[in-house]
Structure 1
Amino acid sequence: MEPSPRRGLPDAALRTALETSAVPMYLMATPEHGLTVEWVNDAFVAHAGVARVDLLGRRVSVLRGLIDDLPDLEALRTALRGDRSFAVTVRDAPTAGAAGWVQLSFSPIRGDDGAMTHWFCVLNALPERPEETESLSSLEMSRRRMARLDLMTQVSGLLTDLDHPHVLREIADVLGRAAGCRIFFYMDDKGLAYTESVDVNTPPSSRLVRGPQTRPVPLVAGTEQTWAPDVVQAVLDGEDAGPVDVSLDARYPPRSASAVLVRDLRARLETDGVTARGIVVHPVPGRRRVLGLLVVVLEPGREFTPSLTPGTTLRAVSRRAGMLIDTARLYAREHRVAETLQRAMLPEQADVHGLDVWTYYAPNSDHAQVGGDWYDVLQLTEHDVGLVVGDVVGHDVEAAATMGQMRSVVRSYAFEMTAPGAVLERVDELVAGMRLPRASSLVYARLEARDEPVAEPVAARHAAPEGVEAPPATSTRTWRLSYSRAGHLPPVLVRGDRSVLLDGAGGSLIGYGSTPRATDELELQSGDVLVFYTDGLIERRDRDLREGLAVLGEELAGMGPSDAAGIGEQLLARVGSTPEDDIAVVVVRVPGVGDDERLQDGGPRSRRWLLPNEPSSIARARHVVVRTCTAWGVPGAAAVELVASELVANAVMHGWGHVALRLFDTADGLRIEVEDANPSPPVATDGHINRGGGFGMQIVERLADWGWRPTRVGKVVWAKVHPAGAGRLTPAGGTPRAQV
């Protein structure tokens, strides 16, 4: 490089001497002239191990890779703005020759007019660093390393909460403040896009749906237009491990990843009034592909802090973020598979004649886990009902699969044998041979109905008019309970204002029974309530199971509702409001004579039912809604019954998966919600030509306000029936109101 006369560089003889000196030296411009490297001697090139052409004309920051750690940058900048000689001691990086301590001596060079034009730097190797200086430098290095560790701790803490709606933006803000630049995250899920949060429902890195920006764009024939290489796509495809520089002025192919990134960044920076001098892109790698980009925007006059130079902390952050995001997506996919498997295996509850039955299941939502809790309600014969509640150890797909196998085994023997103890013995034998990987507990109960004739009172017979035959004798249905337990918590019997644990007929876990299983029996009375449950209902970290059982018994003894759904809802509100594990509950109530006229409710004014997607669910929905309206003393039950029937019928006819029916008393009316897995919204029509049906939503419109909202797996259709019931008279043919 030729010397510049304007800046007063050394003459030719002096320059030759400096070029051939064995001491490494270099010359750099002052901050006013950009701090660029303008001359290096042969010894410095040999010491750096970098070609001369890669050094000359570059900013002095290019030399940072030669140093393991720098002193305080602010103090160094202050010294370079001055005009006096100074020296700093640094440690060579392992890649810069032999590692050791080096003293950098800076001397000002002035022009003919006396103005300072350059800094002249000489590198002096120190065979042994002075003890006092080394102690101070080590202290400074420790301070910076602690600052780097603190930054990584902050970022790691944020990465543990990937469900936060702005987690990536917060990480970018933390890194940007520490690095002295602006940082953005772009995810390549269905096209490259700026992202502030993590969508865990996106497929993990084993699958990729390319966005429109990756489509090749052919050049127009006959034109001389050329495009800059799509360096961003090379990073996304894993062809370039990065980091890479992206020019804001280059012309990239339309719709290419580089063009999409530059266009979006320009818009964001213009909005913030920021000028960028460069863009550096780091990949955010997953297990099998690059998930996105960590984009660093360099601003004029601002430099990286030494602990966050490219290739160190930023690379570590992007790699850790990618692995955690990929792990979260893999876990979410496993959870969805397990939940789908588990819900598919949960029973489609039979409409049990003569009993009021309510069932409930929910995985532990706090930890988004899927477990092996399950229940089953079987109409074995016209007069016999089987009830099962079980718990398989674990919260994963294997636990759900084991639960499905257990359910099938118990079902097969329940229809074949009558005594619960004998059923569990056969289950033991089969499970031992199947070698199921998970232990399981369960309680199996059988309720047998008996119809006993009851003669009319003598007075009633004498009151019959002469010549008229007396009314025939009537009958009453009684129930007998028999049950057996395999390592499971005891059911609870509620009779009047007392509750009793049915802790008889106990035994070991399924598959471990080496002795005959016992069976206990009990005569049930009108109004008796049986509660079967898993440990998630009562288990808490701050109390043992014995205390939980005592709390359960106390709450059940003071229950106000007189229908199974009301008892179940109040039980969940009082005992299971903060579950720490999966919950499965079955509530069975033996109705009494005249119950429909005497039902009283003192519990939460909400009910929920999970119905199979089959026509019989429509009739069951009508029955439970009428029973609930009677319990709540709500007028206009006929309108509520009709609306619920139409909504459930639509879900059965046009949806798929189980149908969830919920009923709420909102003080100014009854709100009905029906959920299914079909995301398509309901539509009110004028009926179907040449065939019946198609008028369901017209009926709903005339009786209620209604709308719908999407869910993660489908939709919820809601309707609100006011106390006047059919008195609302909304004109037919209106549009539904979507509620998000």
Structure 2
Amino acid sequence: MVNSHADPLPDDAVVSPRGTIVPDVGLQARALSATVVPMGLFESRDGVLSVVWVNEAFERALGYGVDGAQLLEPSVRQELERDPVRASQLAAALAAAQPFTPTFTLGRADGTRFVCEVHLAPVPTDDGSAPVHWVAAFQDMTERLSHDAEQAALVEAERRERRSLGLIAQVSDLLMDVDDPHSLREIAMLLRHGVVAWAGFFLNDRGLRAADGVDAAHLPTGRGHRHGDTRDDARVRRDAPDAVQLLLDGERDRPVEVDLDAAYPDGSASGWLAHHLASEAYRQEGGAVLPQDRRAVVYPVPGRRRVLGLLVVLPRGGGGLRGVEPSTTTVLELTARRVGLVVDNARLYDREHRLAETLQRAMLPQQAEVEGLDVWTYYAPNSENVQVGGDWYDVLQIAPDVVGVVIGDVVGHDVEAAAAMGQLRSVVRSYTFDITTPGPVLERVDQLVTGMRIPRSAGLVLSTLTRHASGWRLEYSRAGHLPVLHVRGGVATELRGAGGALIGFGGNGRSTSTVELAEGDVLVYYTDGLIERRDRGLRDGLAALAGVASRVTARDAAGIGEELLSRLADHPEDDVAVVVVRVPDPRDHLERARSPRRRRWSLPNEPGSIGRARHAVVRTCQAWEIPDAANAELVVSELVANAVLHGYGHVSLQLYDTGDGLRIEVEDGNPAPPVTTDGHPGRVGGFGMQIVERLADWGWRQSRGGKLVWAKVRPGALPPTGRG
């Protein structure tokens, strides 16, 4: 309904059949021309659109009008030819006279690009025939594309950060087992799969060596440049700084670049590294596809006080330092720092272990052999501690017919406890040789300890065994220590007499108890580590010890001790010291076949252990009446030498009397198997396992802590050399 009071109609307006005011064509054209949206009118000719009109907004956006747009039509058609899918969609829309919204990139007059969505729609004809003209609105996509690009960049940055965090987490997991010799190699492989084309670690451990399994010669280390005689190569700069050496010396803390195909002075760290990285072993290592641009990037692996090694990488696209993305740089630097910290901690911990173990071993006596008694001794530190503690024992040949036995425990598992133990051991030994009665000896020890002000409390049992015409007499005194166990005829009795306070607190004097020993009697001295557990109290532990000791079938001190250990000390939670003394029985030789014998030693990983092992085997063969001890001595010497030279951690030596020979077992912390090599004049070593093969049947197996190598020595004399 038309309002009769409305303003009069303009001259260029008409009224539609429904009463709506419709501007004429001129007004519509002016409206399209005035809009701020770039628009144009196209004419369809044989399925090809050609521009016939553009508005002012189009001219402002692109810098040209109809004529310029017509000149650019060939480039638009070429763009469509490069995108046949979009071209076919446009042709279908034109044929069906349907609206279509393609995306085009148009060139502006100033040479920049105008990315836009073109909203095409057909203009209906008066007679309803196929449309000839198409109107187009050009929507600028620059802002939206910039926003999309920013979002994509944010997503990519987040993805890189997540990848970096994931890699660092995996590296941390692998570093939890840095004692595993393959852990650094696995970390390098992780970096190769994640961020670089190739990666490898080189540790600066008494010479630069590869830590990823590739055998490489060692490079001498120390501060200063190592430019030796240079090669006759014009590319070598004699005055050029040795970048890798500067990293090793700590004079640079940022990564450096090493061209694997460049020439370096002989003897330089950079030349050594380039030579070994360019070798065939590294080119083929892991089947990795390395970039043609072989410029390696070297990161220092820092410790607390010095550089422990190098992390060397080859970027995936080459380019050296410039080819490493910032996120990749962060991952590599964090990896190098974490590896350095963990390796430094492991080395520090290992040094502490070696120092403590050396101190402990220096204070403990050798396997005791006393006249007229069968004696077996054992000591093992708790592996969870620093491998040093206050447990000790001593077996003394005071006189031809007098033997002293002492076992004690100083509170603590540190160097101070070991030092206190050493002081007490020296004091007790001195007074025992002067006064053979245990009670008065401990009284003198109380007096001296009070004056010395030893900071740790301690308990001990001191006893003397005196031989007389009818047998042996035991005299003992206890200072706050567990009772000695006396076993006779399958009955175990705790010797609780002559008890007293801890050393240094016996102000009321010390008493001495006496027990007459019979042939076959056994005395078991021990510390609480043998019987006490978190899930088993002291009383229960004493009862368990008495039960096991009463059922022991072995007929020698070593066999008895081994049975006690196997049943009670399978998982000790504290230091364990045990001394077993047995009064020989003339009937023992009749029971020899029924008494399998075993002895064990825990040796430090040092060259001196080789001699100790040989001495232990000779003594054991003599005690067990095994002939041809020289063969066994030679075999154990080679096995222990291999464990010391090529293994790490404790070296465990065990001997078994199998009835038809001697079985030797040597265990160390290196899981790598022993290898028999062919020796020749140019090689140091390589003959050890060949000697073992000639003298024994041998083999090896994995153990929980590394590997165990066994050898069963063949009876008989040394075999001939095979030469005529």
TM-score past 0.5 threshold = yes
Deviates more, 1:544-553 or 1:504-513: 504-513
Match of residue 566 from structure 2: 573
Choose from 211, 233, 251 the match for 1:195: 211
Partners of 1:172 and 1:331 lie apart in 2 by: 24
Match of residue 388 from structure 1: 406
CA distance 1:622–1:193, change in 2 (3 Å): closer
Partners of 2:365 and 2:547 lie apart in 1 by: 30
- Aligned ranges for residues 386-465 of structure 1 at < 5 Å? 386-451=404-469
Amino acid aligned to 2:245: Q
Partners of 2:274 and 2:616 lie apart in 1 by: 59
What SS does structure 1 have at the residue aligned with 2:559?
A: helix
Match of residue 289 from structure 2: 274
CA distance 1:186–1:350, change in 2 (3 Å): closer
Choose from 225, 246, 249 the match for 2:258: 246
Choose from 280, 295, 312 the match for 2:312: 295
Choose from 367, 372, 375 the match for 2:390: 372
1:482 correspondence with 2:499: no
CA distance 1:354–1:108, change in 2 (3 Å): farther
Match of residue 516 from structure 1: 509
CA distance 1:555–1:664, change in 2 (3 Å): same
The answer to whether the 8 A contact 1:561-1:601 is kept is no
Choose from 154, 170, 173 the match for 2:189: 173
Partners of 2:375 and 2:553 lie apart in 1 by: 17
- Aligned ranges for residues 553-568 of structure 1 at < 5 Å? 553-568=546-561
Partners of 1:558 and 1:164 lie apart in 2 by: 41
- Aligned ranges for residues 336-735 of structure 1 at < 5 Å? 336-348=354-366, 351-365=369-383, 369-451=387-469, 476-477=470-471, 479-592=472-585, 594-600=586-592, 602=594, 604-608=596-600, 625=621, 628=624, 637=626, 639-640=627-628, 663-666=655-658, 669-671=661-663, 705=696, 720-722=713-715, 725=716, 730-731=719-720
Match of residue 215 from structure 1: 226
Match of residue 328 from structure 2: 309
Q: Which has the larger radius of gyration?
A: 2
Partners of 1:603 and 1:114 lie apart in 2 by: 101
Partners of 2:559 and 2:290 lie apart in 1 by: 64
Amino acid aligned to 1:195: A
* Partner deviation per Cα, 1:534-565 (whole Å, 9 max, x = no partner): 22322334333333222222111110111111
- TM-aligned CA deviation for residue 344 of structure 1: 2.4
What SS does structure 1 have at the residue aligned with 2:352?
A: helix
* Partner deviation per Cα, 1:235-257 (whole Å, 9 max, x = no partner): 11111111223333433223322
- Aligned ranges for residues 11-22 of structure 1 at < 5 Å? none
* Partner deviation per Cα, 1:426-478 (whole Å, 9 max, x = no partner): 22222232233443332211222221xxxxxxxxxxxxxxxxxxxxxxxx32x
The answer to whether the 8 A contact 1:483-1:505 is kept is yes
- TM-aligned CA deviation for residue 500 of structure 1: 1.9
Match of residue 63 from structure 1: none
CA distance 1:178–1:706, change in 2 (3 Å): closer
Amino acid aligned to 2:464: R
* Partner deviation per Cα, 1:152-206 (whole Å, 9 max, x = no partner): 44323322322112011122233444435532111122332321389xxx9xxxx
Choose from 267, 271, 286 the match for 2:303: 286
Amino acid aligned to 1:730: P
Partners of 1:248 and 1:117 lie apart in 2 by: 46
Partners of 1:185 and 1:618 lie apart in 2 by: 38
Partners of 2:106 and 2:505 lie apart in 1 by: 90
The answer to whether the 8 A contact 1:185-1:292 is kept is yes
- TM-aligned CA deviation for residue 618 of structure 1: 11
Partners of 2:571 and 2:441 lie apart in 1 by: 34
Amino acid aligned to 1:369: Q
1:162 correspondence with 2:181: no
Match of residue 34 from structure 2: none
The answer to whether the 8 A contact 2:653-2:665 is kept is yes
The answer to whether the 8 A contact 1:167-1:197 is kept is no
Partners of 1:640 and 1:166 lie apart in 2 by: 41
Q: Which runs of 5+ in 2 are unaligned?
A: 1-82, 84-103, 116-140, 640-650, 668-690, 701-708
* Partner deviation per Cα, 1:634-665 (whole Å, 9 max, x = no partner): xxx5x3467669999999xxxxxxx9996424
The answer to whether the 8 A contact 1:564-1:588 is kept is yes
- TM-aligned CA deviation for residue 418 of structure 1: 3.1
- TM-aligned CA deviation for residue 620 of structure 1: 10
TM-score by length of 1: 0.61
Deviates more, 1:351-360 or 1:107-116: 107-116
Partners of 1:330 and 1:405 lie apart in 2 by: 27
Partners of 1:222 and 1:249 lie apart in 2 by: 13
Amino acid aligned to 2:713: K
Partners of 1:238 and 1:646 lie apart in 2 by: 46
* Partner deviation per Cα, 1:349-384 (whole Å, 9 max, x = no partner): 554222111112233356662333221001122322
Match of residue 672 from structure 2: none
Match of residue 260 from structure 1: 272
What SS does structure 1 have at the residue aligned with 2:399?
A: coil
In the alignment of these two chains, the number of paired residues is 537
The answer to whether the 8 A contact 1:493-1:531 is kept is yes
CA distance 1:162–1:438, change in 2 (3 Å): farther
- TM-aligned CA deviation for residue 330 of structure 1: 2.4
**What's the C-alpha RMSD, in Å, of the aligned pairs?**
5.1
What SS does structure 2 have at the residue aligned with 1:352?
A: coil
Match of residue 632 from structure 1: none
Match of residue 332 from structure 1: 350
Amino acid aligned to 1:337: L
What SS does structure 1 have at the residue aligned with 2:227?
A: coil
TM-score by length of 2: 0.62
The answer to whether the 8 A contact 1:390-1:441 is kept is yes
Match of residue 231 from structure 1: 243
Partners of 2:582 and 2:255 lie apart in 1 by: 67
Amino acid aligned to 2:502: L
- TM-aligned CA deviation for residue 322 of structure 1: 1.4
Identity %, equivalent residues: 50
Partners of 1:506 and 1:385 lie apart in 2 by: 21
What SS does structure 2 have at the residue aligned with 1:599?
A: helix
Partners of 1:219 and 1:668 lie apart in 2 by: 63
Partners of 2:333 and 2:517 lie apart in 1 by: 69
* Partner deviation per Cα, 1:292-311 (whole Å, 9 max, x = no partner): 0112221129999988432x
* Partner deviation per Cα, 1:30-76 (whole Å, 9 max, x = no partner): xxxxxxxxxxxxxxxxxxxxxxxxxxxxxxxxxxxxxxxxxxxxxxx
Match of residue 46 from structure 2: none
